[in-house]
Amino acid sequence: MDEIAPEYDVVVLGTGLTECVLSGVLSVKGKKVLHIDRNDHYGGEAASVNIEALFKKYGNYANGEEPWKKYGRVNDWNIDLVPKLLMSNGELTNILVSTDVTRYLEFKQIAGSYVQQGNGTRATVAKVPSDAGEALRSPLMGLFEKRRAKRFLEWVGAFKEDDPASYGGLNLNVCTMKEVYDKYGLEATTRDFIGHAMALYQTDEYINQKGAAKETVQRIRLYVNSMARYGKSPYIYPLYGLGELPQGFARLSAIYGGTYMLNTTIDEITYDGSKVSGIKATMRERGDESEGMKFSTKTKKILGDPSYFPGKVQIVGHLLKAICILTHPVPNTDNSDSAQLIIPQSQVGRRNDIYIAIVSSAHNVCPKGYYIAIVSTIAEGSSNHHLELQPGFDRLGRIEEKFMGPAIPLYEPLESGMNDNIFISKSYDATSHFETTTDDVRDIYRRAEGQELVVEGLREGTNLVGEE
């Protein structure tokens, strides 16, 4: 085995998406990176696992049984642990393209984007209208409301941040979204699907927040423009599951000299005064009885996910999640092979939205005939979590298998990292996309490197790659 270098510019702990994007970008920019994970696989919390691994993770079967056997070849399954989709015009897509990581991945559209209106037996599910024309055809609104919604969406479509004339007489920098909705005379149910299924807010806090109107308009524009890109929905998804994303960025990092070590536990983080100075660690494969390979190396910076720093993070909420295996498309989604369905909080008497992300064999994540639906929300109580997700289960029809563990704590770092040079990421939140993940990537980069992350032009140095 080769020697580990005596010093690295950055040591990265955990191979989740946030960490892998950072390590890829830092390597391309010439930093010497050592990237470690305690697990034997890439992806950490953002991995995709096969069905045997999923049963074993949740332990929902009797001793001696092997329930995964009735689901075909275990390796035909790549089940995401984090339910998210990529906005086709979003920042992660931009980073993927700028770094050429798209070479290693193939993407497909998510076939539809749906929203629920009403509750219980009166619940209806309909496509989220994405432009003025669709608004006019949408069953979500009555005749006059359709026209008002059309006017609103036309205004959003013409909005230009640097052209106050396009603000429509509103001072978007200070006004609330309520004032905007009022101006267009939109009904409560319309506000609900615009705010939750297009701007993708998970609560109603944005409505009365001063100055939030501009951000709301920008979020709706991201949705509309992502939608316009490929046509069916604003979302795309990588074949073989989201776990391919961290692997792709890890490969980018490795190509630019990053060193990768899985199966490696951190024994100690060493400090020089208040600042980090290095790590001591042990690499040992599973099942290996020996002591493993012990090593130490110096570094002035560590980046990592919260699980590596239990003393330096706090819990900011709990995520509820249930992974469901179906043998049919989700009802009322036009037999789509994939979809997102949002249940806005107010429709079912909650404070947080319920999300359902659906993928299938069309994305090489399961054998033909199966669908994987992940229902998730932010926990509002400390028990009966199953009931909190019930409105989501009600949408799914017959469920073959349900995997639901205890509420998942969401962590954030206590400090910025300026004091100890340890820069910690946030847990993957409850949003349905990766926009907050890339916000975190940018934030960590700014804190750790003291400058803004610019990804544009990153691939220009890669003239060694062959013709394509």
Residues in contact with another protein by CB under 8 A are 1-2, 41-42, 76, 88, 93, 96-97, 102-104, 106-109, 228-232, 236, 239-240, 244, 247-248, 250-251, 254-257, 259-264, 283, 285, 361, 364, 461-462, 464-468
> Among residues 109 and 427, whose Cβ is nearest to another protein?
109
Cβ atoms of 278 and 297 within 8 Å: the answer is yes
Cβ 237 to another protein, closest distance in Å? 10
Q: What is the number of alpha carbons within 13 Å of residue 322 lying toward its C-beta?
A: 23
Rounded to 10 degrees, what is the CA torsion of 379, 381, 384, 388? -50
> Among residues 323 and 366, whose Cβ is nearest to another protein?
366
Rounded to 10 degrees, what is the CA torsion of 269, 442, 17, 295? -20
> Among residues 60 and 361, whose Cβ is nearest to another protein?
361
Cβ 299 to another protein, closest distance in Å? 17
Q: How far are the Cα atoms of 85, 114, 434 from residue 338, in angstroms, in the given order?
A: 11, 11, 18
> Among residues 99 and 352, whose Cβ is nearest to another protein?
99
Cβ 264 to another protein, closest distance in Å? 8
Cβ 134 to another protein, closest distance in Å? 15
Cβ 28 to another protein, closest distance in Å? 9
> Among residues 237 and 393, whose Cβ is nearest to another protein?
237
Cβ 94 to another protein, closest distance in Å? 9
> Among residues 247 and 376, whose Cβ is nearest to another protein?
247
Cβ 301 to another protein, closest distance in Å? 21
> Which of 453, 439, 431 minimizes the C-alpha distance to 201?
431
> Among residues 104 and 159, whose Cβ is nearest to another protein?
104
The torsion region of residue 160 among left (phi > 0), alpha (psi -120 to 50) and beta comes to beta
Cβ 398 to another protein, closest distance in Å? 25
Cβ 118 to another protein, closest distance in Å? 32
> Among residues 244 and 388, whose Cβ is nearest to another protein?
244
Cβ 305 to another protein, closest distance in Å? 17
Cβ 293 to another protein, closest distance in Å? 9
> Which of 64, 26, 42 minimizes the C-alpha distance to 300?
26
Longest alpha-carbon distance in the chain: 74
- Angle formed by the axes of helices 435-449 and 91-98, to 10°? 60
Cβ atoms of 86 and 235 within 8 Å: the answer is yes
Cβ 442 to another protein, closest distance in Å? 20
- Whole-angstrom distance, CA of residue 394 vs CA of residue 392: 5
**Contacts for 144 with CB less than 8 Å, ≥ 6 apart:** none
> Among residues 335 and 384, whose Cβ is nearest to another protein?
335
- Antiparallel, parallel or unpaired: β 354-360 and 339-343: antiparallel
> Among residues 136 and 254, whose Cβ is nearest to another protein?
254
> Among residues 106 and 268, whose Cβ is nearest to another protein?
106
> Among residues 162 and 460, whose Cβ is nearest to another protein?
460
